[in-house]
Structure 1
Amino acid sequence: MADPTPVLDDLRAESDELDRLVTGLGAAQWALPTPAPGWTVAHQIAHLAWTDRSSVLAVTDRDAFAREVEKALAAPGDFVDNGAEEGAAQPPGQLLADWRTGRDALQQALRAAPAGARFPWYGPPMAAASMATARLMETWAHGLDVADALGAEPVPTDRLRHIVRLGVRTRDFAFGVHGLPTPFEEFRVELRSPSGQLWTYGPEDAADRVTGSAYDFCLLVTQRAHRADLGLRAEGPDADRWLDVAQAFAGPPGSGRPPKGTAS
């Protein structure tokens, strides 16, 4: 079973980096629009805070989390947006404090979780390492949207390795959620990390391959950039199709982002 400590450490570092970006913002900056339609900087942080709270419930109070799932099933199209809207309506100082409290509580809960434990979620149950990886992915992706709104330039780090691994592991899910047949054979994935390492997955002799930068791959699987704007290369028809549908997050197919220079 995977030791969650490394990804929990990286989740903390990723959260702290985003925290530094939003600390000290004025009310006008919290209200800036981000690339996600209808979502401001405040909505992005509110969504992270809301998901952290849900994660803590999943780890510490299954009955309370089950009630949250019932609410989601009752309003499947609005549940996430409603949570972000509610949080974004708070004063920025309170929103920031709530996010900090929730993510610290999640760190403590996951570090204290029994080895091998699995926790309910809106999708399949997750182990501690998997839940931390999902939280890191979301923190990084929503942090990109915040940075875009503020005109900041994100600096990629090798913390992306967790998102890359998640993106590779969710290949079959991405095909399935788009109603496509799952490829029978594994793909070869070769990605250059921010520090210059080569991260590889799958058999060396695979017929279908994906190559490029880890940063571009993470942008793709979190749907923060259109494939046409990335330097990823696919060899083989199934790998090519994957780059059109890839998503590392649970739920229905995302709408993604339009290519640069086109209307959304």
Structure 2
Amino acid sequence: MSDPTDPTTDLLADVLTDLAAENAELDGLLAPLHEAHWQLPTPAPGWTIAHQVAHLAWTDDWTLRSVRDPAGFHPAAAELLVGADEFDGIVDAGATAGAQLPPAELLDRWRTGCAAVRAELAAAPPGAKLPWFGPPMKAASMATARLMETWAHAEDVAEALGVTREPTARLRHIAHLGVRTMGFAFAAHGLPVPAGPVRVELTGPDGEEWSWGAAEATDRITGPVLDFCLLVTQRRHPDDLALKVTGPVAVAWLPIAQVFAGPPGAGRAPRG
């Protein structure tokens, strides 16, 4: 696996390979399901497995629009938002509409869309920044965002099915994105973006040690990479994670960490 912090690696190809693996892992959960399983509730309030897959398909559609028609993306997004009270309402509406499809049709739509996303991102102009609902992203970052969302929503699907997934080295991409979006998380909550560094040291699934930030930083987060990814995707409450946090900036970051675009997420309640 390539190092996402090393600019000499073919990062886009590496991320797309791992995105394909994440797509395949979720497909492995979905393919055997009977129609009734698609209506199982997931940890996201009001969302069934069908909603989770429909959301991924909806986001893939917008990703394809970004790559294929970058000039038309923001006008189309503005039209989408006309009359909407908040962005989350648009997201919920897209998931609800897609969830009404017959499961076989929804599964085919998602499969077709994620395959098209991988192909289009692979052919995207090098260095081009693609528009999005948040800051614009290069193709490698867009692919990482799709990997992150696929993994996070697959976690919800797995939980609905009572399945525990094994963490993989692909989590490094999500952790890297989580570190890079620290400033965004503070800004999304209307808080000043910290000037000082935070050192993040994580242990991978096979005992690898991964780190970001200045080694001398006094603000630090350490622990398993799985727990950090569950934190930044807001799939677990900080109290339920084995993360060690020191320093005021790191302590302030923990409850607001958010790797996804859009307004601040509500997160998950502690499991107790």
Q: TM-score normalized by structure 1? A: 0.96
Q: Name the counterpart of 2:187.
A: 176
Amino acid at match of 1:62: P
2:237 paired with 1:226 = yes
Amino acid at match of 2:137: M
Higher mean alpha-carbon deviation, 88-97 vs 175-184, is at: 175-184
Report if aligned partners of 1:71, 1:79 keep a CA contact under 8 Å in 2: no
Q: Name the counterpart of 1:12.
A: 20
Amino acid at match of 2:147: L
Amino acid at match of 1:69: A
2:91 paired with 1:80 = yes
Moved over 6 A (4+): none
* Within-5 A mapping of 1:14-163: 14-74=22-82, 75=84, 76-77=86-87, 78-163=89-174
Counterpart pick for 1:253 among 221, 241, 264: 264
Q: Name the counterpart of 1:187.
A: 198
In the alignment, the residues of structure 2 paired with residue 72 and residue 161 of structure 1 have an alpha-carbon distance, to the nearest angstrom, of 33
What's the secondary structure of 2:159's corresponding residue?
helix
Counterpart pick for 2:215 among 204, 211, 236: 204
In the alignment, the residues of structure 1 paired with residue 168 and residue 187 of structure 2 have an alpha-carbon distance, to the nearest angstrom, of 30
Amino acid at match of 1:120: P
In the alignment, the residues of structure 2 paired with residue 127 and residue 63 of structure 1 have an alpha-carbon distance, to the nearest angstrom, of 15
Any gaps of 5 or more consecutive residues in structure 1?
none
Amino acid at match of 1:55: T
Amino acid at match of 1:5: A
Q: Name the counterpart of 2:4.
A: none
CA deviations on 1:223-263 (whole Å, 9 max, x unpaired) are 000000001011111111111111111111100000004xx
CA deviations on 1:102-134 (whole Å, 9 max, x unpaired) are 111111111111111111111111100010010
CA deviations on 1:43-75 (whole Å, 9 max, x unpaired) are 000000110011011001235533430233222
Go from structure 1 to structure 2 and tell me whether the alpha carbon gap of 1:203 and 1:66 turns closer, same or farther (over 3 Å shift): closer
Q: What is the CA distance between 1:4 and its match in structure 2?
A: 0.7
Amino acid at match of 1:196: G
- What's the % identity of the aligned pairs? 57
In the alignment, the residues of structure 2 paired with residue 8 and residue 260 of structure 1 have an alpha-carbon distance, to the nearest angstrom, of 34
Q: TM-score normalized by structure 2? A: 0.93
Higher mean alpha-carbon deviation, 5-14 vs 176-185, is at: 176-185
In the alignment, the residues of structure 2 paired with residue 35 and residue 62 of structure 1 have an alpha-carbon distance, to the nearest angstrom, of 34
Go from structure 1 to structure 2 and tell me whether the alpha carbon gap of 1:64 and 1:90 turns closer, same or farther (over 3 Å shift): farther
Go from structure 1 to structure 2 and tell me whether the alpha carbon gap of 1:66 and 1:173 turns closer, same or farther (over 3 Å shift): closer
Q: What is the CA distance between 1:28 and its match in structure 2?
A: 1.1
In the alignment, the residues of structure 2 paired with residue 98 and residue 28 of structure 1 have an alpha-carbon distance, to the nearest angstrom, of 19
Amino acid at match of 1:190: E
In the alignment, the residues of structure 2 paired with residue 62 and residue 205 of structure 1 have an alpha-carbon distance, to the nearest angstrom, of 41
CA deviations on 1:111-164 (whole Å, 9 max, x unpaired) are 111111111111111100010010000000000000000111111001000000
How many residues of Structure 1 are paired with residues of Structure 2 in the alignment? 261
Amino acid at match of 1:101: T
In the alignment, the residues of structure 1 paired with residue 249 and residue 49 of structure 2 have an alpha-carbon distance, to the nearest angstrom, of 37
Counterpart pick for 1:166 among 156, 174, 177: 177
